[in-house]
Structure 1
Amino acid sequence: MFHRKEALVKPEIPFSDGTRGVLQCLKPKGELVTDLLNLLACLLTKKERSFNQNPPIWFFPTNVSQAILSWTTNPNSMKILIKANFMGKVDLLEKIFIPVNDDNKHWYLIVLDFKNEQVVYLDSYPEEGRMLARIRRTKLLCIYLEELLQDQSFYLIDDNPKPIVSEFKMVIPEGLMVQKKDSNDCGVFVATWMNQMGINGYKIEVDNFTRLKLAVDLVLHSHNLLQGVMLSKSLVWMKDMR
């Protein structure tokens, strides 16, 4: 019998494990949980760091936007929370991916594009009545992160200019797929956008197969410390099924 607390995915960054219970949110119509997006941020960060210890793309866990928007965490405390595990040097930085939750009901994604000086707003269900609040919260994130990135420890070269994130142009890409009104796919959209990293202008398609692919990719990820164990168990299971 399977146990919900059994870990199937253990990232090299000790932040959030992918237990059976967490991965069950990827079943059809399941509501994606915070732990899964945190797990994905850990795995994507390690993948980027395997190419460069100071990666040009950063993936923040959900705790970052939650702490900023709750007005409870000052920049110095935030730096301690995420610098070692999820950040590098701003001199090399191209993008930051930031998942945001709206009133514990809806996930959307903010991408800070440092090369183009843009704030890319990605929302699979842009409700007219909530857009103003979501954009206002996005601006708050930008102001906060601008202050955070004033810290000289984030730079390789002392006199490199600090990015003025609050002045980045906000961009809402056109022609993106939206979720059905009664679906729980918003978190799956966010996870897929993070995986895609802006290729093809953030155009993606999400369906039940997307959920299955995301689950398989997480379990078989090269930076899952349990990847070998999972593969061995799969072979045993396949033998037993014959």
Structure 2
Amino acid sequence: MGNFFSHLLQRKGDDRVNLNEFKKSHERFSQGPLGLGILTQKDDRGYSTSVLNRKIKPKDDRKELFHSLKYEDDEEVFHAFHGGNSDEILVRHEPSNIVISRGVLQCLRPGAWLNDEVINLYLELLKERERREPEKFLKCHFFNTFFFEKLTNGKNGYDFKAVRRWTTKKKLGYTLIECDKVFVPIHKGKHWCLAVINIKNETFQYLDSLGGEDIHVLEVLARYLMEETRDKGDTEIDSTSWKKELVDDLPLQKNWRVCFFVTNDAFFIIFLL
């Protein structure tokens, strides 16, 4: 996705790029089918080569998580990025009512700005993956991109009532405190960050590919979780005393494009390519 798409799309959307060139570039950069598997190619020392050309120790079962695409799928990808009608609907996710048009999907092209629809659809797919194989993944909840903005849009920068009904047991089928981890995408104006409520380890984590540190985000979420558990009738907890971690061992951005990286326990990092 990284180096490969950067090369392929260097003409800035020129539709004259043909499928044969697409496949030749594909073979030269990925040495295999296009897909998420390109994020986990190994160098001669056995390390995974990320799209940032940084070295990340591979997970033993990562191959099970990243499935490469077949060439017929590559053709679908090519037409999604180079078709003529930007309003054409490419994906309609019925459970969440998220609609992805060609114009929306093209936010994944180099130099483009990632949009809410693509992030939210990705999170919905993570939810579905967990439901399909609950024995394989941690139990997680994924808030959409509007949650934190709504939570912090009150008169004093906090409004629990605005999101109180988002997490009723009738709606979710579970309560947040039953989850191992809760993921909260955070929009910082020019890029996306991620906050993780690690209930299993009683830790709040903040991940920023710009290297920024925002302990306030974690304090807000600590207050939210305490009120949430009290409101839903669970045993009251003092989540404000949990550990707050500003994760600094992250790939750092080189430009303004965002990518997702998923590990075997559904702990994913948003970072910029």
Q: TM bucket by the smaller chain? A: 0.5 to 0.7
Q: Which gives a bigger RCO, structure 1 or 2 (Cα 8 Å, sep 6+)?
A: 1
SS in 1 for 2:114: coil
What is the deviation of 1:36?
A: 1.3
Taking the TM superposition and a 5 Å limit, the aligned residue runs for 1:117-196 are 117-127=202-212, 131=213, 134-152=214-232, 161-180=235-254, 183-185=255-257, 187-188=258-259, 191-192=260-261, 195-196=262-263
Equivalenced residues, count: 186
Give the conservation status (yes or no) of the 8 Å contact 1:25–1:33. yes
The alpha-carbon deviation at position 76 of structure 1 amounts to: 4.3
Contact 2:151 2:162 in 1 (8 A): no
CA displacement at 1:27 relative to structure 2: 0.6
Partner of 1:32: helix, strand, or coil?
A: coil
- CA positional deviation for 1:41: 1.8
> 1:100 corresponds to which residue?
186
- In 2, Cα distance between equivalents of 1:27 and 1:147: 40
Where is the strand percentage greater, Structure 1 or Structure 2?
2
Q: Which residue identity is paired with 1:9?
A: V
Larger-gyration structure (1/2): 2
Alignment CA distance shift 1:28-1:85 (3 Å): farther
Q: Which residue does 1:7 correspond to in 2?
A: 89
Q: Is the 8 A contact 1:58 1:87 kept in 2?
A: no
Instruction: Report the structure, 1 or 2, having the larger helix content.
Output: 1
User: Which residue number corresponds to residue 112 of structure 1?
Assistant: 197
Q: CA–CA distance in 2 between the matches of 1:206 and 1:198?
A: 21
Does the residue aligned with 1:96 lie in a helix, a strand or coil? strand
Q: SS at the partner of 1:149?
A: helix
Residue 17 of structure 1 deviates from its aligned partner by: 2.0
In the alignment, residue 46 of structure 1 is paired with which amino acid? E
Once residues 66 and 94 of structure 1 are traced to their aligned partners in structure 2, the CA distance between those partners, rounded to angstroms, is 23
| TM-score, normalised with respect to structure 1 | 0.64
Could you report, residue by residue, the CA deviation over 1:199-231 in whole angstroms, capped at 9, with x for unpaired residues?
7x8689865xxxxxxxxxxxxxxxxxxxxxxxx
Which residues of 2 match residues 1-242 of structure 1 at below 5 A? 2-52=84-134, 56-71=139-154, 74-83=159-168, 88-90=174-176, 92-102=178-188, 104-127=189-212, 131=213, 134-152=214-232, 161-180=235-254, 183-185=255-257, 187-188=258-259, 191-192=260-261, 195-196=262-263, 207=273
CA pair 15-60 structure 1, distance change in 2 beyond 3 A: farther
Which amino acid in the other structure matches residue 167 of structure 1? S
**Secondary structure of 1:35's match?**
helix
8 Å CA contact 1:45–1:86 kept in 2: the answer is: no
Q: 1:13 to 1:82 in 2, by over 3 A?
A: farther
Identity, in percent, stands at 26
Letter of the 2:184 counterpart: I
Listed as ranges, the gaps of 5+ residues in structure 2 are: 1-82
Deviates more, 1:70-79 or 1:5-14: 70-79
C-alpha change, 1:162 and 1:2, in structure 2 (3 Å) is farther
Distance change >3 Å, CA 203–CA 9, structure 1 → 2: closer
Given the two structures, how large is their TM-score scaled by the length of structure 2? 0.58
Report the CA distance shift for 1:204/1:18 in structure 2 as closer, same or farther (over 3 A).
closer
Structure 2 counterpart of 1:124, which letter? S
Distance 1:59 1:197, change over 3 A: farther
